[in-house]
Chain A
């Protein structure tokens, strides 16, 4: 199968999961799989960064393991932890068997050497609590690992990720090095809260997902809401595109376009009329000052979006 065919199949598979993607995304995913490299996804909120990982997992029929990052995330929650409670409980319960092992020993040395012969039972796999990163390495059939909003985590955590991402292995001092059974496909997403280190970026493929253009956005809405009326679809997308050209505190994202479309369908709209727009503006705009600003300029924005509808969709 040629590369072109494989790309087409990949897009088809993602399309089956209701994820419409452009060539850039498809090529990046293809390279990520063939070079075994993580994908670092950047872009404004709500353009489907997380969704891409989800759809990808579904398309490849792999389980998705998700690690949500936040400030203060450390290795005990991301990598692994010892099951302290279980260890304590077992030592209590196994007191008698320990006594049995130590029976007939006269000296401390002898007792110790007998204990040593038993191995490090309490620091072995059954007492290890794997967290998402370790889980993803251990999963037998491979998996998709999503490290969400990495820019919220501390820099220390970023450093921890470096080993996992470049070699797909982690070192656990008590056990040794755990290597990936099957290299997971890794996605990292970032909202640009802070700039990530060059070391991390260097290990990843870079993918920037911008807001979609009108045609792509219309296709996305169509796929999610097949029943939507044509004239509503085109005018709604043109209106949203028009809003994105304004200097707003928060621009409406694709997920908000979808919510809005759903709401308008519920209200039985077949085309975009001005009254309905101003009644439902709070679905796409999340700040009062944005809503006020758009309400003031609504007639002219509406006018422009109508003109655009013609230009964009013919």
Chain B
């Protein structure tokens, strides 16, 4: 590797706390490599641990590689290095320090600390107990109560409670009051540790579950959690396909070739090519916006717009009974608002596929070329009306690919008022698309097709 010449200082074991901080950063999904943590340690030694602000600034420029990552970094830094609060007296109006130090008959050290209102010692005890109980290994939120109890027990709660009876009633009441405050502090401390350390296995598990939830069944909270998952998906796909841009060689570039081979007496040894400029392809997305479809539509559009950098230009259309173009809504406006407006613009009576397809044909039938891909997102439930599939047939012949995505599973396509039976022959590809996993697979194939063409 690169820097093998470590000084004696570098060979000293990394301090445990520093390693835990790196682990906390990784948990917050910052990609911190071992080389990064070495650099960070060197930087920290240079900057010293005395000036917190300086250390934070210095480490952030090493460990955070973008503005967004810097935000995450600073949050984790502040949480990790936040001093835990155990000032038991803070909630009492009369500070515990003002109280006369009473009752020396209480043997338990915890009891004595509580009675003395010694918050510094309590904090130290709490952190020590936390280390002893390995609170940083907490994984699931269900373990929070368990860890809080273990910490309190390690601080000597049981032995204190045993000789509680020997106290006068007024003192007992006071002690119980302060104990309740301490209990709250310990819970806060565990919560803080959970937020910082809760191992990424917990997150991965949650994410893999989220990816398989049926979009149409998801509740509001789940939907909220899905958005970062979609962003991560888009990021992965973007980096995957970013490199495959502009690979097509075109004609020989004569002047450049001559220049490149000047040194070879003009023998054309190194060839230079002109890049072929591809005409921009278009992606047409038609969305069924009837109530049952809205969620699936939302997630798909979200993914497609997040992929805008690597995809051809998107034109979007929404319909219930009539079809409207909604491309302009997604121009610069935040996605959520655009989506809301799209639904407002297109809401109407009962679903009518035939009329909407006719609208689409009138609106931009002529814009469909052999470079266009047409995606229809709908359940095909046409209320037993005539599907008029010859319209879809015309579109099918005109575009390069026609893809139908249906949130219903395949065996439901041929039941009830579904018109999928009539539309299916005129789709190059028809998929069930009801979970994030399926959505990602679809986007992946779409991009692959785009770049292999």
Chain A residues within 8 Å of B, Cβ to Cβ: 3-4, 7, 23-24, 27-28, 30-31, 34-35, 37, 42, 82, 84-85, 87-88, 155, 166-167, 195, 198, 201-202, 205-208
Most chain B beta carbons < 10 A, residue from A7, A23, A167, A206: A206
Return chain B residues, CB-CB under 8 Å to A85.
262-263
The answer, among B67, B242, B263, for a CB contact under 8 Å with A84, is: B263
A-side contacts of B48, CB under 8 Å:
3
Please state if A88 and B263 are interface contacts (CB–CB under 8 Å): yes
B64 within 8 Å of A (CB atoms)? yes
**Once the chains are docked, how many angstroms separate the CA of A88 from the CA of B48?**
59
Closest 10 A-B residue pairs measured CB to CB? Answer: A84-B263, A201-B65, A28-B61, A205-B61, A27-B57, A27-B58, A206-B65, A208-B67, A31-B43, A24-B57
Of A3, A42, A167, A207, the residue contacting B54 (CB under 8 A) is A3
Report 25 cross-chain contacts, Cβ distance below 8 Å, ordered by A residue: A3-B46, A3-B54, A23-B53, A27-B47, A27-B54, A27-B61, A28-B57, A28-B58, A31-B43, A31-B46, A31-B61, A34-B43, A35-B62, A84-B262, A84-B263, A84-B264, A85-B262, A155-B243, A198-B239, A201-B65, A202-B35, A202-B36, A205-B62, A206-B66, A208-B66
**Which residue in chain B gives the minimum CB-CB distance to A154?**
B246
Q: Which residues of B contact A35 (CB under 8 A)?
A: 39, 42-43, 46, 62
Question: B residues bordering A, Cβ < 8 Å?
Answer: 2, 31, 33, 35-36, 39, 42-43, 46-48, 51, 53-54, 57-58, 61-62, 64-67, 69-70, 239, 242-243, 262-265
CB distance from A193 to the nearest CB of B (A): 11
Q: Point out the residues of chain A lying under 8 angstroms from B42, CB to CB.
A: 34-35
Is A82's CB under 8 angstroms from B263's CB? yes
Q: How close is A275's CB to chain B, nearest CB, in angstroms?
A: 33
Q: Which residues of A contact B39 (CB under 8 A)?
A: 35, 37
Given A3-B54, A31-B62, A37-B39, A87-B67 contact (CB < 8 Å): no
Q: Which residues of A contact B243 (CB under 8 A)?
A: 155
Residues of B within 8 A of A42 (CB): 66-67
8 Å CB contact of B65 from A28, A167, A198: A198
Shortest distance between the CB of B80 and any CB in chain A (Å) = 19
Interchain CA distance A169-B243 in the complex, whole Å: 26
- A87 to B263 Cα, complex, angstroms: 8
Min Cβ gap B267→A in Å is 12
**Distance of A3 Cα from B44 Cα, bound (Å):** 11
A4 touching B61 in the complex, CB below 8 Å, given contacts A31-B46, A34-B46, A35-B42: no
How far is B345's CA from A223's CA once the two chains are assembled, in angstroms?
54
Cβ contacts under 8 Å, A37 to chain B: 39, 62
Q: Residues of A contacting B54 with CB < 8 Å?
A: 3-4, 7, 23, 27
List, in ascending order, chain B residues with CB within 8 A of A202's CB.
33, 35-36, 65
- In the bound complex, residues from chain B placing their C-beta under 8 Å from that of A34 are 42-43, 46
Determine if B263 and A24 form an interchain contact, defined as CB atoms under 8 angstroms apart. no
| Cα(A85)–Cα(B264), bound, Å | 10
Identify B31's interface contact among A7, A28, A198, CB under 8 A. Answer: A198
Q: Which chain B residues border A4 with CB–CB below 8 Å?
A: 51, 54
Decide: A167 near B263, CB < 8 A? Known: A27-B61, A35-B43, A205-B62.
no
C-alpha gap A42/B46 in the complex (Å): 25
- Within 8 Å CB of B262, what residues of A? 84-85
**Whole-angstrom distance between the alpha carbons of A312 and B348 in the complex?**
52
Shortest distance in angstroms between B337's beta carbon and chain A's nearest beta carbon? 14
Q: Could you tell me if A23 and B57 are in contact, using CB atoms closer than 8 angstroms?
A: yes
In whole Å, how far is B244's beta carbon from the nearest beta carbon of chain A?
11
Give the CA-CA distance A195 to B69 in the complex, in Å.
14
Q: How far is the CA of A204 from the CA of B405 in the complex (A)?
A: 43
Q: What residues of chain B lie closer than 8 Å to A30, measured between beta carbons? A: 46, 58
The distance from the CB of B199 to the nearest CB of chain A, in whole angstroms, is: 23
Contact partners of B47 in chain A: CB under 8 A: 3, 27, 31
Shortest Cβ gap from A155 to chain B (Å): 6
* Chain A min CB distance to B279 (Å): 20
B46 adjacent to A24 (CB under 8 Å) = no
Q: In the complex, what distance in Å separates the CA atom of A28 from the CA atom of B64?
A: 12
**Cβ contacts under 8 Å, A23 to chain B:** 53-54, 57
| B309 → A minimal CB distance (Å) | 8
Contacts of A167 in B (CB 8 A): 2
Nearest opposing residue in chain A for B57, CB measure: A27
Least CB distance from A33 to B in Å reads 10
CA–CA, A15 and B36, complex, Å: 31
Complex Cα gap A174–B47 (Å): 43
Residue in chain A with minimal CB distance to B51? A4
Residues of A within 8 A of B57 (CB): 23-24, 27-28
Contacts A155-B243, A198-B31; A207 near B61 (Cβ below 8 A): yes
Q: Which residue of A lies closest to B55 (CB)?
A: A27
- Rounded to whole Å, the gap between the CB of B56 and the closest CB of chain A is 10
Which among B33, B46, B48, B70 has the highest number of chain A CB atoms within 10 Å? B46
In the assembled complex, the Cα of A155 lies from the Cα of B239 at a distance in Å of 12
Across the interface, B2 reaches (CB within 8 A) one of A84, A166, A205, A208, namely A166
Query: Closest chain B residue to A2 by CB distance?
Result: B48
* Complex: A7 Cα to B55 Cα, angstroms: 13
Q: A3-B48, A198-B31 are in contact. List 19 more A-B contacts (CB 8 A).
A: A3-B46, A4-B51, A23-B57, A27-B54, A27-B61, A28-B58, A30-B58, A31-B43, A34-B43, A34-B46, A37-B62, A82-B263, A84-B263, A84-B264, A88-B263, A155-B243, A167-B2, A206-B62, A206-B66
Q: How far is the CB of B265 from chain A (nearest CB, A)?
A: 8
In the complex, what distance in Å separates the CA atom of A248 from the CA atom of B322?
A: 36
A262 to B257, alpha carbons, bound, how many Å?
48
A4 CA / B53 CA spacing, docked (Å): 12
Min CB–CB distance B3 → chain A (angstroms) = 9
User: Taking each of B48, B61, B62, B243, which has the highest tally of chain A beta carbons within 10 Å of its own beta carbon?
Assistant: B61
* CB nearest to B42 among chain A residues: A35
